[in-house]
Amino acid sequence: MTASARTPARPATAASAAVLNDGLAVSIRDLKKAYVLAGGTVHALRGVSFDVPTGDFVSIMGPSGSGKSTLLNLLGCLDRPTGGEFYLGPDNVAQMSDDELADVRASRLGFVFQSFNLLPALTVLENIELPLHYSGRLGRDSRQRCEELADKVGLGDRLDHRPMQLSGGQQQRVAIARSLVNDPWFLLADEPTGNLDTATTREILDLLTGLNEEGRTIILVTHEPEVADLTKRTVVLRDGLVVYDGHPDGSRAALDASRRKDGPNGAR
Protein backbone atom coordinates (compact mmCIF):
# COMPACT_ATOMS: atom_id res chain seq x y z
CA MET A 1 0.00 0.00 0.00
CA THR A 2 1.34 3.43 -0.84
CA ALA A 3 1.67 6.21 1.70
CA SER A 4 -0.99 8.14 -0.20
CA ALA A 5 -3.42 5.24 0.11
CA ARG A 6 -2.90 5.17 3.88
CA THR A 7 -3.03 8.90 4.45
CA PRO A 8 -6.36 10.51 5.19
CA ALA A 9 -7.45 12.45 2.15
CA ARG A 10 -7.13 16.20 2.15
CA PRO A 11 -10.51 17.92 2.58
CA ALA A 12 -12.05 18.48 -0.84
CA THR A 13 -11.97 22.24 -0.95
CA ALA A 14 -11.28 24.42 -3.97
CA ALA A 15 -7.87 25.28 -2.51
CA SER A 16 -6.90 21.65 -2.00
CA ALA A 17 -7.97 20.75 -5.52
CA ALA A 18 -5.68 23.49 -6.77
CA VAL A 19 -2.79 22.10 -4.72
CA LEU A 20 -3.35 18.62 -6.12
CA ASN A 21 -3.63 19.83 -9.68
CA ASP A 22 -1.05 22.56 -9.86
CA GLY A 23 2.06 20.42 -9.79
CA LEU A 24 3.31 21.35 -6.34
CA ALA A 25 6.07 19.18 -4.95
CA VAL A 26 5.60 20.69 -1.49
CA SER A 27 2.93 22.81 0.13
CA ILE A 28 3.30 23.95 3.73
CA ARG A 29 0.84 26.07 5.66
CA ASP A 30 1.42 27.68 9.04
CA LEU A 31 4.02 25.01 9.85
CA LYS A 32 5.13 25.02 13.47
CA LYS A 33 7.73 23.16 15.45
CA ALA A 34 8.16 23.59 19.18
CA TYR A 35 10.74 21.72 21.22
CA VAL A 36 9.62 21.20 24.80
CA LEU A 37 12.57 21.23 27.18
CA ALA A 38 12.83 21.10 30.95
CA GLY A 39 13.55 24.83 31.09
CA GLY A 40 10.78 25.88 28.68
CA THR A 41 9.59 25.57 25.11
CA VAL A 42 11.64 26.62 22.08
CA HIS A 43 9.44 27.75 19.20
CA ALA A 44 11.82 26.91 16.34
CA LEU A 45 9.19 27.41 13.58
CA ARG A 46 6.33 29.73 14.37
CA GLY A 47 4.09 29.46 11.31
CA VAL A 48 5.92 28.98 8.03
CA SER A 49 3.99 28.88 4.75
CA PHE A 50 5.21 28.44 1.18
CA ASP A 51 4.73 26.25 -1.88
CA VAL A 52 7.41 24.61 -3.97
CA PRO A 53 6.20 23.96 -7.52
CA THR A 54 7.64 20.93 -9.27
CA GLY A 55 10.80 22.00 -11.08
CA ASP A 56 11.65 24.83 -8.65
CA PHE A 57 15.15 25.38 -7.22
CA VAL A 58 14.81 26.94 -3.78
CA SER A 59 17.49 28.07 -1.36
CA ILE A 60 16.68 28.46 2.32
CA MET A 61 18.77 31.00 4.20
CA GLY A 62 18.73 32.75 7.55
CA PRO A 63 20.95 33.49 10.53
CA SER A 64 22.00 30.84 13.01
CA GLY A 65 19.04 29.62 15.04
CA SER A 66 16.45 30.91 12.57
CA GLY A 67 14.99 27.43 12.01
CA LYS A 68 16.64 26.23 8.78
CA SER A 69 17.66 22.78 10.06
CA THR A 70 14.32 22.35 11.78
CA LEU A 71 12.54 23.12 8.50
CA LEU A 72 14.85 20.80 6.57
CA ASN A 73 14.18 17.99 9.04
CA LEU A 74 10.44 18.46 8.56
CA LEU A 75 10.70 18.65 4.76
CA GLY A 76 12.86 15.51 4.86
CA CYS A 77 10.23 13.69 6.93
CA LEU A 78 12.83 13.14 9.65
CA ASP A 79 10.60 14.83 12.20
CA ARG A 80 6.96 15.80 12.59
CA PRO A 81 5.58 19.32 12.92
CA THR A 82 3.77 20.33 16.10
CA GLY A 83 1.30 22.39 14.09
CA GLY A 84 0.24 23.32 10.57
CA GLU A 85 0.06 21.31 7.37
CA PHE A 86 2.71 19.78 5.15
CA TYR A 87 1.63 18.29 1.84
CA LEU A 88 4.06 16.30 -0.21
CA GLY A 89 2.22 16.08 -3.51
CA PRO A 90 -1.23 14.97 -2.40
CA ASP A 91 -0.21 13.46 0.95
CA ASN A 92 -0.50 15.14 4.32
CA VAL A 93 2.82 14.28 5.90
CA ALA A 94 1.82 15.79 9.23
CA GLN A 95 -0.63 12.91 9.73
CA MET A 96 1.60 10.01 8.72
CA SER A 97 2.77 7.24 11.05
CA ASP A 98 6.47 6.59 11.65
CA ASP A 99 6.40 3.71 9.15
CA GLU A 100 4.79 5.89 6.51
CA LEU A 101 7.36 8.62 7.10
CA ALA A 102 10.13 6.05 6.66
CA ASP A 103 8.52 4.91 3.40
CA VAL A 104 8.37 8.46 2.12
CA ARG A 105 11.99 9.12 3.08
CA ALA A 106 13.19 5.97 1.40
CA SER A 107 11.22 6.17 -1.80
CA ARG A 108 10.25 9.77 -2.54
CA LEU A 109 13.06 11.98 -1.26
CA GLY A 110 16.69 12.36 -2.23
CA PHE A 111 19.14 13.65 0.39
CA VAL A 112 22.49 15.37 -0.14
CA PHE A 113 24.49 16.26 2.97
CA GLN A 114 27.41 18.58 3.66
CA SER A 115 29.51 15.65 4.85
CA PHE A 116 28.49 13.36 1.92
CA ASN A 117 27.51 10.48 4.30
CA LEU A 118 28.84 7.71 2.06
CA LEU A 119 29.52 4.28 3.53
CA PRO A 120 33.31 3.90 3.49
CA ALA A 121 33.33 0.11 3.02
CA LEU A 122 31.15 0.26 -0.11
CA THR A 123 32.22 1.06 -3.66
CA VAL A 124 30.87 3.99 -5.66
CA LEU A 125 28.38 1.68 -7.35
CA GLU A 126 27.27 0.09 -4.08
CA ASN A 127 26.83 3.49 -2.42
CA ILE A 128 24.65 4.68 -5.29
CA GLU A 129 22.64 1.46 -5.07
CA LEU A 130 22.00 1.68 -1.31
CA PRO A 131 18.63 3.52 -1.35
CA LEU A 132 17.26 0.80 -3.64
CA HIS A 133 17.87 -1.70 -0.82
CA TYR A 134 16.07 0.51 1.71
CA SER A 135 13.09 1.12 -0.56
CA GLY A 136 12.86 -2.51 -1.65
CA ARG A 137 13.30 -1.55 -5.28
CA LEU A 138 16.42 -3.51 -6.09
CA GLY A 139 15.77 -5.27 -9.37
CA ARG A 140 17.34 -6.74 -12.46
CA ASP A 141 18.00 -3.37 -14.04
CA SER A 142 19.36 -1.74 -10.85
CA ARG A 143 23.02 -2.15 -11.75
CA GLN A 144 22.54 -0.55 -15.14
CA ARG A 145 20.62 2.33 -13.58
CA CYS A 146 23.40 2.93 -11.02
CA GLU A 147 26.05 2.81 -13.73
CA GLU A 148 24.11 5.37 -15.76
CA LEU A 149 23.84 7.63 -12.72
CA ALA A 150 27.57 7.29 -12.00
CA ASP A 151 28.16 8.25 -15.62
CA LYS A 152 25.80 11.19 -15.34
CA VAL A 153 27.80 12.67 -12.44
CA GLY A 154 31.09 12.03 -14.24
CA LEU A 155 32.25 8.98 -12.30
CA GLY A 156 31.59 6.26 -14.83
CA ASP A 157 35.26 5.24 -14.64
CA ARG A 158 35.33 5.02 -10.82
CA LEU A 159 32.63 2.46 -10.15
CA ASP A 160 34.82 0.21 -7.98
CA HIS A 161 36.54 2.98 -6.03
CA ARG A 162 35.80 3.49 -2.35
CA PRO A 163 34.99 6.92 -0.91
CA MET A 164 38.49 7.30 0.59
CA GLN A 165 39.95 7.03 -2.89
CA LEU A 166 37.90 9.99 -4.11
CA SER A 167 38.19 13.76 -3.69
CA GLY A 168 35.55 15.66 -1.73
CA GLY A 169 33.90 16.85 -4.93
CA GLN A 170 33.84 13.31 -6.31
CA GLN A 171 32.32 12.03 -3.07
CA GLN A 172 29.60 14.64 -3.32
CA ARG A 173 28.96 13.53 -6.91
CA VAL A 174 28.44 9.98 -5.65
CA ALA A 175 26.05 11.33 -3.02
CA ILE A 176 24.11 13.20 -5.70
CA ALA A 177 23.90 10.08 -7.86
CA ARG A 178 22.71 8.15 -4.80
CA SER A 179 20.06 10.80 -4.11
CA LEU A 180 18.65 10.29 -7.62
CA VAL A 181 18.51 6.51 -7.69
CA ASN A 182 14.89 6.27 -6.51
CA ASP A 183 13.79 9.00 -8.91
CA PRO A 184 12.67 11.15 -5.95
CA TRP A 185 9.98 13.80 -5.96
CA PHE A 186 12.59 16.33 -4.88
CA LEU A 187 16.15 16.65 -3.65
CA LEU A 188 16.93 18.12 -0.24
CA ALA A 189 20.47 19.40 0.10
CA ASP A 190 21.94 20.58 3.42
CA GLU A 191 24.91 22.88 2.75
CA PRO A 192 25.97 20.63 -0.16
CA THR A 193 29.10 22.67 -0.88
CA GLY A 194 29.97 23.52 2.72
CA ASN A 195 33.01 21.19 2.74
CA LEU A 196 34.29 22.04 -0.73
CA ASP A 197 36.73 24.58 -2.14
CA THR A 198 35.58 27.31 -4.50
CA ALA A 199 36.30 25.50 -7.77
CA THR A 200 34.69 22.27 -6.62
CA THR A 201 31.73 24.20 -5.21
CA ARG A 202 31.18 25.60 -8.68
CA GLU A 203 31.28 22.11 -10.24
CA ILE A 204 28.75 20.73 -7.78
CA LEU A 205 26.48 23.73 -8.26
CA ASP A 206 26.72 23.28 -12.03
CA LEU A 207 25.69 19.66 -11.55
CA LEU A 208 22.70 20.64 -9.39
CA THR A 209 21.73 23.40 -11.83
CA GLY A 210 21.85 20.89 -14.69
CA LEU A 211 19.60 18.51 -12.75
CA ASN A 212 17.15 21.34 -12.12
CA GLU A 213 17.19 22.24 -15.81
CA GLU A 214 16.20 18.64 -16.50
CA GLY A 215 13.17 19.18 -14.24
CA ARG A 216 14.42 18.06 -10.82
CA THR A 217 12.94 19.97 -7.89
CA ILE A 218 15.70 21.00 -5.47
CA ILE A 219 15.52 22.60 -2.03
CA LEU A 220 18.84 23.49 -0.43
CA VAL A 221 19.93 25.14 2.78
CA THR A 222 22.94 27.41 2.52
CA HIS A 223 24.75 30.15 4.41
CA GLU A 224 26.46 31.34 1.23
CA PRO A 225 24.78 34.06 -0.86
CA GLU A 226 26.89 32.97 -3.86
CA VAL A 227 25.23 29.54 -3.68
CA ALA A 228 21.75 31.01 -3.23
CA ASP A 229 22.35 33.26 -6.25
CA LEU A 230 22.41 30.18 -8.48
CA THR A 231 18.98 29.05 -7.33
CA LYS A 232 15.70 30.37 -8.73
CA ARG A 233 14.25 31.52 -5.45
CA THR A 234 15.36 32.22 -1.89
CA VAL A 235 13.34 31.85 1.29
CA VAL A 236 14.85 33.72 4.25
CA LEU A 237 13.93 32.66 7.78
CA ARG A 238 14.30 34.70 10.93
CA ASP A 239 13.09 33.65 14.38
CA GLY A 240 11.14 30.76 12.86
CA LEU A 241 9.24 32.91 10.36
CA VAL A 242 9.62 33.61 6.64
CA VAL A 243 10.83 37.20 6.24
CA TYR A 244 11.57 37.00 2.50
CA ASP A 245 10.47 34.73 -0.34
CA GLY A 246 11.50 35.74 -3.83
CA HIS A 247 14.35 36.15 -6.28
CA PRO A 248 17.77 35.54 -4.66
CA ASP A 249 18.84 39.10 -5.59
CA GLY A 250 16.38 40.56 -3.11
CA SER A 251 17.36 38.27 -0.24
CA ARG A 252 20.47 40.27 0.75
CA ALA A 253 18.48 43.09 2.29
CA ALA A 254 16.42 40.63 4.35
CA LEU A 255 19.58 38.83 5.49
CA ASP A 256 21.32 42.11 6.38
CA ALA A 257 18.29 43.16 8.39
CA SER A 258 18.33 39.79 10.20
CA ARG A 259 22.01 40.18 11.03
CA ARG A 260 21.52 43.71 12.33
CA LYS A 261 18.69 42.46 14.53
CA ASP A 262 20.61 39.46 15.77
CA GLY A 263 23.99 41.07 16.43
CA PRO A 264 27.36 40.70 14.73
CA ASN A 265 27.33 36.89 14.53
CA GLY A 266 23.71 36.47 13.69
CA ALA A 267 23.46 34.14 16.70
CA ARG A 268 20.49 34.16 18.99
Ligand X SMILES: Nc1ncnc2c1ncn2[C@@H]1O[C@H](COP(=O)(O)OP(=O)(O)OP(=O)(O)O)[C@@H](O)[C@H]1O
Distance CA 230, CA 191 (A): 14
**Taking CB under 6 A as the rule, does residue 42 contact ligand X?**
yes
Min dist CB 33 to ligand X, Å, is 8
Sole window of 68-76, 128-136, 166-174, 210-218 interacting with ligand X (rule: CB under 6 A): 68-76
Query: Does 248 sit near ligand X (CB under 6 A)?
Result: no
Tell me how far, at minimum, the Cβ of 75 lies from ligand X, in Å: 12
How far, in Å, are 29, 95, 112, 184, 266 from residue 108 at the CA level?
A: 21, 17, 14, 4, 34
Binding-site member from 70, 107, 170, 193 for ligand X (CB under 6 A): 70
168-180 helix and 142-152 helix, angle to the nearest 10 degrees: 140
DSSP structure string for 130-165? HHHHHTT---TTHHHHHHHHHHHTT-TT-TT--GGG
Q: How many CB atoms lie within 10 A of CB 249?
A: 11
Identity of residue 247 = H
114 binds ligand X (CB under 6 A): no
Q: What is the DSSP letter of 9?
A: P
Per CB under 6 A, 41 contacts ligand X: no
At its nearest, how many Å lie between ligand X and the CB of residue 238?
Answer: 9
Q: Which is nearer to ligand X, 73 or 142 (CB)?
A: 73
Binding segment for ligand X (CB under 6 A), chosen from 8-16, 21-29, 64-72, 114-122, is 64-72
> Are 216 and 190 a contacting pair, CB within 8 Å?
no
Taking the least distance from each CB to ligand X, the nearer of 28 and 132 is 28
List the one residue from 3, 44, 94, 177 that touches ligand X (CB under 6 A). Answer: 44
Residues touching ligand X: how many (CB under 6 A)?
A: 12
Q: Does 66 bind ligand X (CB under 6 A)?
A: yes
The yes or no reply on residue 35 touching ligand X (CB under 6 A) is: yes
| Residue 201 within binding range of ligand X, rule CB under 6 A | no
Spatial distance between the Cα atoms of 49 and 100, rounded to a whole number of angstroms: 23
Q: Are 131 and 182 in contact (CB under 8 A)?
A: yes
Under the binding rule (CB under 6 A), the answer on residue 251 touching ligand X is: no
> Given the rule CB under 6 A, which residues bind ligand X?
35, 37, 42, 44, 62, 64-70
